[in-house]
């Protein structure tokens, strides 16, 4: 971190208080009130604007993530019994119903915990691990961490030998790699290892190396999909950019750069956040696009032009972290720009939590607060991370 800051401490206080209020008065109470299923365990995650359950499916990504949030907050913010109970409700539901004998974790469950669907991907497993690891520490029960570590071994195996898990490979396919895999693994390892990263040194280096294959400094682009050697692929898939994802990868990498004390990695991390924000910002209507094509063709996903809450959550924290690390005023301005967009578009002062999906112009397109891919995670995580960092900045 730099040793001079171009911003007055009262500014940090102002943002810190704003986030504190949003997080503890309007975001966490929404999930605490509407999501727990005290009858069957776990959480309802398909919640309408006002918290009403519009679908009873329990999506496992969101179960694991909510366990992580409530466990983390119990440990880090305040030892509220309500928070602990909510964390336990999800952790036990997950452990009982989420995982099957071959250690694969379901994507979705019925309200009673019966399996509905299994993806040919490793992400359900990753959020299962994150939830249980954090709950283990909150509950001081080592068995949950043991379970998380056991599952991480399986995920590691599957992530690099996907023949057992993912879609089969066909002869016309190129050998590619996806940004999501090293990214999520770096995040999961950080959660499982906590202070003790020693047992995962090889895995950490491997993930950092693989993640860096997606970063092309010559064009200042972070590609979602590259060849296994890191080369650009000139197809719709190879040209597809997901600026929010690259920004999230940036702050994951920055955390590791700080942990491992690597200035050059820290610079890379700061840069990919700036490049992706610069490229992803919609100069006409504001907000960050969901997808772009590196050569300016129309991205093929229908929703490419939409503005998603999680993208802006990642950008909010990433820019504040950049500012904390570099002290550059441009990073602070980028943080303020994202903050302004968020509080003008995503917040819902009436019922709390944030809307998830806007059209290009910034109007809400989906009124629900929770859906198959949106739950109690990105909003509280970003606000909590910013809140903690702003506290540090205030005291600087």
Which residues contact a copy of itself (rule: CB under 8 A)?
46, 48, 54-57, 106, 109-110, 112-118, 167-168, 170-173, 235-237, 297-300, 302-306, 357, 359-360, 365-368, 371-372
CB of 359 to a copy of itself, least distance (A): 6
End-to-end CA distance of the chain, in Å? Answer: 10
The DSSP result for 58-96, as a single string, is: EEHHHHHHHHHHHHHHHHHT---HHHHHHHHHHHHHIII
Measured from the CB atom, the residue of 118 and 213 that comes closer to a copy of itself is 118
Report helix angle 142-160 to 180-193, nearest 10: 160
C-beta of 131 vs 370, nearer to a copy of itself: 370
User: d(Cα 68, Cα 384) in Å, to the nearest integer?
Assistant: 13
Our CB check for a copy of itself shows the closer of 83 and 309 to be: 309
Q: Residue 85, exposed/middle/buried by CB under 10 A (0-12, 13-18, 19+)?
A: middle
Query: What is the nearest approach in angstroms of a copy of itself to the Cβ of residue 298?
Result: 4
Rounded to the nearest whole angstrom, what is the least distance from the CB of residue 364 to a copy of itself in the complex?
9
Task: State how far the Cα of 355 lies from the Cα of 49, in Å rounded to an integer.
Answer: 8
Nearer to a copy of itself, 114 or 163 (CB): 114
Record the tokens describing residue 378, joined without a space: 């990105």
Calpha distance 135→67 (Å, rounded): 7
Between residues 164 and 366, which has the closer beta carbon with respect to a copy of itself?
A: 366
- The enclosing H or E element of 29 equals helix 28-34
Closest CA to 316 of 294, 347, 285: 347
Identify which of residues 326 and 361 has a Cβ nearer to a copy of itself in the complex. Answer: 361
Minimal distance, residue 116 CB to a copy of itself, in Å: 5
Cα dihedral across residues 79, 81, 86, 91: positive or negative: positive
Q: Which CB, 259 or 300, lies closer to a copy of itself?
A: 300
Report d(CA 114, CA 288) in Å as an integer.
Answer: 38
CB of 200 to a copy of itself, least distance (A): 33
Contact 290, 305 (CB under 8 A): yes
CB of 167 to a copy of itself, least distance (A): 7
Quote the least distance from Cβ 88 to a copy of itself, whole Å: 23
């Amino acid at each position: 971190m730099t040793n001079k800051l171009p911003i007055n401490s009262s500014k940090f206080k102002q943002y810190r208080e704003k986030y504190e209020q949003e997080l503890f008065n309007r975001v966490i109470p929404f999930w605490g009130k509407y999501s727990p299923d005290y009858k069957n365990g776990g959480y309802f995650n398909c919640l309408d604007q006002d918290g009403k359950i519009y679908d009873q499916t329990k999506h496992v990504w969101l179960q694991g993530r909510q366990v992580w949030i409530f466990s983390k907050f119990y440990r880090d913010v305040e030892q509220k019994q309500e928070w602990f109970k909510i964390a336990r409700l999800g952790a036990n539901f997950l452990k009982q119903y989420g995982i099957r004998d071959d250690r694969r974790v379901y994507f979705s469950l019925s309200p009673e915990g019966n399996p509905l669907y299994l993806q040919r991907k490793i992400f359900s497993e990753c959020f299962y691990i994150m939830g249980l690891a954090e709950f283990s520490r909150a509950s001081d029960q080592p068995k949950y961490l043991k379970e998380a570590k056991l599952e991480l071994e399986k995920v590691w195996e599957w992530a690099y030998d996907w023949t057992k898990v993912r879609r089969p490979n066909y002869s016309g396919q190129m050998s590619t790699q996806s940004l999501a895999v090293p990214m999520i693994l770096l995040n999961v390892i950080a959660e499982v290892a906590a202070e003790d990263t020693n047992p995962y040194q090889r895995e950490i280096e491997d993930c950092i190396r693989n993640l860096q294959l997606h970063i092309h400094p010559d064009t200042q682009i972070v590609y979602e999909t590259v060849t296994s050697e890191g080369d650009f692929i000139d197809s719709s898939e190879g040209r597809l950019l997901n600026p929010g994802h690259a920004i999230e990868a940036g702050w994951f990498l920055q955390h590791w750069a700080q942990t491992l004390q690597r200035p050059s990695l820290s610079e890379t991390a700061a840069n990919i956040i700036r490049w992706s924000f610069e490229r992803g910002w919609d100069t006409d209507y504001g907000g960050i696009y969901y997808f772009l094509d590196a050569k300016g063709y129309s991205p093929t996903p229908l929703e490419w032009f939409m503005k998603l809450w999680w993208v802006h959550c990642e950008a909010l924290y990433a820019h504040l972290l950049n500012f904390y690390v570099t002290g550059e005023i441009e990073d602070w301005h980028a943080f303020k720009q994202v903050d302004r967009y968020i509080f003008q578009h995503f917040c819902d002062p009436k019922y709390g939590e944030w809307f998830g999906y806007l059209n290009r112009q910034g109007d809400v397109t989906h009124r629900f607060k929770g859906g198959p891919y949106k739950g109690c995670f990105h909003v509280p995580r970003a606000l909590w991370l910013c809140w903690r960092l702003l506290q540090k900045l205030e005291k600087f």
